């Protein structure tokens, strides 16, 4: 097959299927071999680009201009630069393509501003570029006024901590985490949720000993919040063991989700923490490493 015939075959496959096809789908519908792709395009992603098509997901790099439009659209909705957690929650893509492309989340605004200038789309996205410029000015002012706190809020003055002479001294934590070890009971789950509630889009307004454990507002869309009732359990199936009623709870937060067929929405904090740690590790090459508490 010639290069033009391969392009025509992929486009015909897309028309038949009604979506951008995987290579497996093209090979099945058009009887095309891997050799044809390698000979003309090296990779299937390159072939799709030549066809004016693009797949998203693992193994497919998103075009920089599309990433910009998605990120800038969220800036326009929020009226500010999105945190990694906000982009993961409301953006169309993962934070990883942006982090890989620009070397860290803190470099994304400047990188995308430069892209807008290269593509000559500053006029279309002028309001977003203004938000980026204001952020850069505020960041510079913060560095000038932060002194020895390195931009972090100073601790309240509660007196000098007592040093116990009969206990060892340890080095500083390697990660900025309020809870150093995985929870083993419900109280640990409550504490851990409190440390990540903001990142997950929650604002807690009430905690109590009786069922349900918590009332909170939850951001369901940018700028739109709803009231929810939350129950905490170390393991999700403990909800049954404790005899709780389904109609008194909207959301179950646990460390380990082991209740098969659970009719409630479940947030498994062990999974949440794995994802947050991955995001933080992806930024390890940043000059200023974002902390989970700052996301």
Domain residues for the domain of 32 are: 3-50
Q: Are 183 and 234 in contact (CB under 8 A)?
A: yes
Give the chain's mean pLDDT. 80
Q: What is the pLDDT of residues 215-228, one digit of tens each?
A: 999 988 888 889 99
Mean pLDDT for 42-46 is 74
Query: What does the alpha-carbon distance between residue 193 and residue 224 come to, in Å, rounded to a whole number?
Result: 21
Looking at the structure, tell me whether residues 86 and 37 fall in a common domain.
no
In a domain, 222, yes or no: yes
Residue 102: predicted pLDDT: 80
Which of the listed residues 93, 118, 144 is the one where a domain comes to its end?
A: 144
Q: Are 197 and 203 in contact (CB under 8 A)?
A: yes
Q: Could you tell me how far CA 198 lies from the centroid of its own chain? A: 13
Q: pTM for the whole thing? A: 0.49
Residue 295: predicted pLDDT: 41
Looking at the structure, tell me whether residues 279 and 191 fall in a common domain.
yes
Q: Is the pLDDT of residue 151 over 70?
A: no
User: Where residue 294 falls among pLDDT bands split at 50, 70, 90?
Assistant: very low
- What tokens appear for 244 in the block? 């709780």
Looking at the structure, tell me whether residues 191 and 279 fall in a common domain.
yes
In a domain, 172, yes or no: no
Q: Is the pLDDT of residue 290 over 90?
A: no
Query: What does the alpha-carbon distance between residue 25 and residue 152 come to, in Å, rounded to a whole number?
Result: 52
Looking at the structure, tell me whether residues 196 and 275 fall in a common domain.
yes
SS3 3: helix
Helix (H) or strand (E) holding 167: none
Looking at the structure, tell me whether residues 201 and 120 fall in a common domain.
no
Strands 214-221 and 224-235: antiparallel
In a domain, 106, yes or no: yes
Read off the DSSP letter of residue 288. Answer: S
Which of the listed residues 86, 115, 144 is the one where a domain comes to its end?
A: 144
Number of structural domains (the chain) is: 3
Looking at the structure, tell me whether residues 71 and 140 fall in a common domain.
yes
In a domain, 157, yes or no: no
Query: What does the alpha-carbon distance between residue 150 and residue 145 come to, in Å, rounded to a whole number?
Result: 9
In a domain, 245, yes or no: yes
Q: What is the pLDDT of residues 87-129, one digit of tens each?
A: 888 887 778 778 878 877 888 898 888 888 888 888 889 999 9
In a domain, 160, yes or no: no
In a domain, 178, yes or no: no
Query: What does the alpha-carbon distance between residue 22 and residue 212 come to, in Å, rounded to a whole number?
Result: 46
**Which has more pLDDT, 252 or 58?**
252
Looking at the structure, tell me whether residues 79 and 137 fall in a common domain.
yes
Looking at the structure, tell me whether residues 107 and 80 fall in a common domain.
yes
Backbone angles phi, psi at 212, to 5 degrees: -80, 160
Residue 173: predicted pLDDT: 63
Mean pLDDT for 132-156 is 63
Looking at the structure, tell me whether residues 263 and 212 fall in a common domain.
yes
In a domain, 257, yes or no: yes
Looking at the structure, tell me whether residues 21 and 74 fall in a common domain.
no
Residue 265: predicted pLDDT: 92
Residue 137: predicted pLDDT: 82
Q: Is the pLDDT of residue 59 over 50?
A: no
């Amino acid at each position: 097959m010639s290069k033009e015939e391969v392009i025509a075959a992929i486009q015909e496959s897309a028309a038949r299927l009604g979506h951008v096809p995987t290579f497996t789908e093209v090979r099945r519908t058009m009887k095309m071999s891997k050799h044809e792709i390698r000979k003309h395009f090296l990779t299937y992603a390159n072939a799709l680009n030549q066809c004016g098509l693009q797949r998203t997901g693992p193994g497919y790099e998103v075009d920089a201009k599309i990433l910009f439009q998605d990120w800038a659209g969220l800036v326009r909705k929020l009226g500010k630069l999105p945190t990694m957690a906000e982009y993961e929650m409301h953006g169309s893509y993962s934070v990883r393509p942006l982090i890989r492309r620009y070397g860290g989340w803190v470099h994304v605004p400047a990188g995308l501003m430069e892209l807008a200038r290269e593509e000559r789309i500053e006029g279309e996205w002028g309001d977003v570029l203004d938000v980026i410029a204001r952020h850069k000015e505020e960041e510079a002012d913060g560095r000038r006024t932060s002194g020895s706190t390195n931009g972090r809020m100073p601790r309240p003055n509660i007196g000098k901590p007592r040093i116990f002479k009969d206990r060892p001294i340890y080095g500083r934590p390697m990660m900025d985490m309020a809870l150093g070890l995985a929870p083993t009971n419900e109280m640990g789950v409550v504490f851990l949720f409190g440390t990540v509630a903001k990142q997950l889009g929650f604002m807690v307004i009430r905690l109590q000993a009786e069922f349900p454990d918590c009332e909170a507002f939850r951001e369901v869309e940018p700028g739109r919040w709803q009231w929810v009732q939350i129950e905490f359990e170390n393991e999700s199936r403990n909800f049954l063991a404790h005899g709780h009623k389904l109609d008194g709870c909207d959301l179950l937060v646990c460390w380990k989700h082991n209740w098969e067929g659970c009719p409630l929405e479940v947030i498994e904090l062990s999974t949440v923490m794995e994802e947050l740690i991955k995001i933080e590790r992806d930024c390890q090459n940043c000059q200023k490493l974002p902390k989970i508490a700052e996301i």
